[in-house]
């Protein structure tokens, strides 16, 4: 169940209270970052970690005549078991301050390890959002998500989950200046030796007063096979508390030392707080990585680069 974006979200009624109420401060600054998306810190429901994601309008499909802000729901990969499918029925919304109610859309999605994010099921016209004082107050707006039903299908059994009813409040603050940028290059001169290991990590480096490292699974993490998995981690000895975090835009690259055609992926804005990491389980196929015509491994050298920018902060309300 989804929508084409042809009409505005409808009223969800005065009794509607989301499981996550996510207030994005300095919304214009979020648009100015040019980020392809922004993701909330996690919230819990029925034993799973969930995230609300907002997609700025400059990244909507070119065929769309009207620019929209899109909302989608993401399920945390680390809380999913291999082979499980979580069917969720949920409502994505934006708060109307004048009428004191949420406007949104109902949707359903099957979440599994190869598909952890729904489509942009709730599309909000950008001009309506920016020009209406009902939705944007002091350059801030409130988005919401309410999970109505969860059914888990696993190889062993099927079960309907009992939902948690508590509401989580979060704030996202985007900086307009004073952005902190960091770059780290990890050169492995003994990659053929490291390739035999399940997991390898870079030395620790510091950006923004915090310690970080890059981690690689040479043959894939968890149930992923045939791929290089690549992540950025906040050091375990330097964890931010679960109630606050840093908002980071991340680019990870494996450098092509022969042709200069690097393998690069850039994230949207993500919150690093608590036990945090961000990256890609399927960053690059092992066959492509080890292809002699490419320069990802030259001799026994492999070079990984992390570029990231701390663009704001997040905390619980």
DSSP characters over 65-115? SS-EEEEEEEE-GGGPPTT-EEEEEEEEEEEETTTTEEEEEEEEEEEBTTB
**Banded pLDDT at 6 (limits 50, 70, 90):** very low
Contact 281, 141 (CB under 8 A): no
Cα 161 from chain centroid (whole Å)? 24
Least confident range from 46-60, 172-186, 233-247, 293-307: namely 233-247
State the Rg of the chain over Cα. 21
Contact 30, 173 (CB under 8 A): no
Q: Average pLDDT, stretch 195-213? A: 91
Q: Average pLDDT, stretch 286-302? A: 94
Q: Average pLDDT, stretch 35-44? A: 91
**Banded pLDDT at 257 (limits 50, 70, 90):** very high
Does the structure show a pLDDT above 70 at 64? no
Q: Where are the domains of the chain?
A: 10-174, 180-316
DSSP string of the chain, one letter each residue: ----SSSPPEE--TT---SEEEEEESHHHHHHTT-S-EEPPPEEETTEEEEEEEE-GGGS-TT-SS-EEEEEEEE-GGGPPTT-EEEEEEEEEEEETTTTEEEEEEEEEEEBTTB-B----EEEEHHHHHH-TTT-BTTBEEEEEEEEEEEEE-SS-EEEPPPP---EEEEEEE-SS--EEEEEEEEETTHHHHTTSS-EEPPPEEETTEEEEEEEETT-STT--SEEEEEEEE-GGGPPPTTEEEEEEEEEEE--TTT---EEEEEEEEEE-SS-EEEEEEEEEHHHHT-TTS-SSBTTBEEEEEEEEEEEEEEE-
pLDDT of the residue at 104: 95
**CATH number attached to the domain at 180-316:** 2.60.210.10
**Banded pLDDT at 179 (limits 50, 70, 90):** confident
Least confident range from 98-107, 172-181, 228-237, 273-282: namely 273-282
Tell me what percent of the residues of the chain surpass a pLDDT of 90. Answer: 62
pLDDT of the residue at 101: 96
d(CA 152, CA 95): 30
Contact 89, 146 (CB under 8 A): no
Q: Which of 288, 281, 286 is nearest to 265 (CA)?
A: 281
Q: Average pLDDT, stretch 145-160? A: 85
Token reading at 249? 């835009």
pLDDT of the residue at 167: 85
Tell me if 10-174 shares its fold with 180-316. yes
pLDDT of the residue at 2: 42
Q: Average pLDDT, stretch 144-161? A: 85
Least confident range from 39-53, 165-179, 284-298: namely 165-179
pLDDT of the residue at 1: 40
**CATH number attached to the domain at 10-174:** 2.60.210.10
d(CA 73, CA 92): 8
Sequence-distant (≥ 6) Cβ neighbours of residue 29 within 8 angstroms: 139, 174, 175, 176, 312
Q: Average pLDDT, stretch 60-85? A: 82
d(CA 116, CA 112): 6
* Distance (Å) of CA 170 to CA 23, 39, 257: 6, 11, 43
């Amino acid at each position: 169940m989804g929508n084409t974006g042809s009409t505005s979200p409808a009223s969800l009624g005065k009794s509607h209270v989301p499981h996550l109420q996510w207030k994005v401060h300095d919304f214009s600054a979020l648009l100015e970052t040019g980020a392809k998306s922004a993701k909330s810190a996690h919230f819990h429901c029925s034993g799973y970690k969930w995230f609300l994601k907002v997609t700025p309008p400059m990244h909507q499909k070119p065929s769309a005549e009207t620019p929209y802000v899109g909302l989608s729901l993401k399920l945390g990969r680390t809380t999913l078991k291999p082979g499980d499918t979580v069917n969720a029925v949920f409502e994505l919304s934006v708060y109307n301050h004048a009428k004191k109610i949420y406007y949104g859309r109902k949707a359903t999605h099957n979440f599994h390890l190869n598909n952890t994010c729904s489509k942009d099921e709730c599309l909000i016209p950008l001009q309506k959002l920016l020009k209406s004082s009902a939705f944007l107050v002091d350059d801030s707006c409130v988005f919401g998500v309410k999970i109505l039903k969860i059914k888990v299908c696993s190889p062993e059994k099927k079960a309907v989950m009992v939902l948690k009813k508590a509401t989580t409040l979060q704030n996202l603050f985007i900086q307009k200046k004073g952005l902190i940028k960091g770059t780290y290059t990890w050169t492995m001169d003994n990659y053929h030796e490291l390739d035999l290991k399940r997991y390898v990590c870079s030395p620790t480096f510091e950006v923004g007063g915090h310690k970080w490292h890059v981690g690689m699974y040479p043959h894939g993490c968890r149930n992923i096979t045939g791929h290089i998995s690549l992540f950025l981690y906040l050091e375990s000895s330097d964890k931010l508390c679960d109630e606050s975090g840093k908002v980071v835009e991340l680019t990870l690259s494996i450098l092509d030392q022969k042709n200069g055609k690097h393998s690069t992926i850039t994230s949207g804005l993500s919150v690093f707080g608590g036990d945090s990491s961000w990256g890609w389980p399927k960053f690059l196929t092992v066959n492509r990585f080890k292809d002699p015509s490419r320069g990802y491994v030259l001799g026994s050298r492999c070079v990984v680069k992390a570029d990231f920018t701390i663009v704001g902060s997040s905390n619980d309300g």
